[in-house]
């Protein structure tokens, strides 16, 4: 099977996973992405979290992150963005609403290959979408959907345990989505609108790093703006 990129939709006949948890029948469409987990993170963890992170914990964490990313790729979020204007006393506000979720234990989600190099787990994860999910993926590739790229930040401080890790990972990804929407609107609208609405989805698995004590996500998105409300409408 040929890899078409991180988080790509693959249609293949051949399949040769390592450390496989599940195997799709030949020819079925498969979403594929790689998750990387530091098994010896530079930040401190709670006392009840094993250090270095053991293989089982690292794999579960990687699968949880993969489920989050596949959810964002297939379903995405709807958004309502009050752009705000200081001169008019209008505060900026953006609401993201998830349009669907892939949960831990979904039988369509499985690891296919795992390697540990320099105390980092590299786990390739596949997701076999249903017919309805394939239709959703096709929507994100329509001609009216635009591309965006942005960096997002989680809250200050490092994750302390597994639940905290997931929450910070999700927060940084959603912040990147907001930044992508904001940059797109500022770059495409000549007259600053009052409000914008639409939908946004992750294009591929994001990359993460610690930056000045904050968990940072760099991500690419697909965005469709469905409504622009100018100030003149008010």
Is 2 within the bounds of a domain?
no
Is 3 within the bounds of a domain?
no
Is 1 within the bounds of a domain?
no
Is 94 within the bounds of a domain?
yes
| Residue 97: other Cβ atoms inside 10 A | 10
For 76-120, how does the pLDDT look when each residue is reduced to its tens digit (9 = 90+)?
Answer: 999 999 877 777 777 778 899 999 999 888 999 999 999 999 888
For 151-174, how does the pLDDT look when each residue is reduced to its tens digit (9 = 90+)?
Answer: 999 887 655 555 678 888 999 999
Question: Comparing 9 with 85, which gets the higher pLDDT?
Answer: 85
DSSP class of residue 161 equals S
Interval 6-21 mean pLDDT: 36
Position 1 scores a pLDDT of 29
Question: What is the Cα–Cα distance from 193 to 186, expressed in whole angstroms?
Answer: 9
pLDDT at 13 over 50: no
Domain count, the chain: 1
pLDDT at 176 over 70: yes
pLDDT at 222 over 90: yes
Reported as a pLDDT band with limits 50, 70 and 90, residue 178 is: very high
Position 12 scores a pLDDT of 35
Q: Which domain holds residue 46?
A: 8-233
Is 36 within the bounds of a domain?
yes
pLDDT at 19 over 50: no
What percentage of residues in the chain have a pLDDT greater than 70? 76
- Six-digit token string for 139: 């929507």
- Six-digit token string for 126: 């596949």
Is 83 within the bounds of a domain?
yes
Reported as a pLDDT band with limits 50, 70 and 90, residue 25 is: very low
For 208-220, how does the pLDDT look when each residue is reduced to its tens digit (9 = 90+)?
Answer: 988 887 889 999 9
Buried b (16+ CB within 10 A) or exposed e, 165-174: bbebbbbbbb
Is 104 within the bounds of a domain?
yes
Q: Name the pTM for this structure.
A: 0.81
Sequential DSSP letters for 193-220: PSEEEEEEEE-S--EEEEETTEEEEEEE
Question: What is the Cα–Cα distance from 207 to 166, expressed in whole angstroms?
Answer: 14
């Amino acid at each position: 099977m040929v890899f078409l990129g991180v988080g790509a939709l693959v249609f293949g006949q051949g399949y040769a996973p390592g450390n496989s948890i599940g195997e799709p029948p030949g020819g079925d469409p498969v979403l594929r992405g790689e998750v990387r987990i530091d098994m010896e993170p530079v930040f401190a963890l709670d006392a009840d979290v094993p250090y270095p992170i053991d293989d089982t914990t690292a794999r579960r964490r990687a699968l949880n992150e993969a489920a989050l990313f596949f959810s964002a790729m297939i379903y995405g979020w709807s958004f309502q963005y009050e752009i705000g204007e200081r001169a008019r006393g209008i505060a900026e506000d953006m609401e993201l609403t998830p349009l669907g979720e892939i949960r831990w234990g979904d039988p369509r989600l499985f690891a296919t290959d795992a390697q540990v190099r320099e105390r980092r787990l590299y786990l390739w994860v596949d997701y076999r979408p249903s017919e309805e999910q394939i239709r959703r993926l096709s929507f994100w590739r329509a001609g009216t959907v635009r591309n965006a790229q942005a960096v997002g930040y989680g809250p200050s401080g490092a994750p302390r345990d597994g639940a905290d890790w997931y929450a910070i990972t999700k927060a940084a990804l959603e912040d990147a989505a907001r930044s992508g929407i904001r940059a797109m609107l500022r770059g495409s609208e000549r007259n600053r609108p009052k409000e914008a609405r639409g939908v946004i989805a992750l294009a591929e698995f994001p990359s993460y790093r610690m930056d000045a004590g904050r968990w940072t996500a760099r991500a690419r998105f697909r965005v469709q703006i469905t409504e622009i409300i100018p100030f003149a409408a008010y």
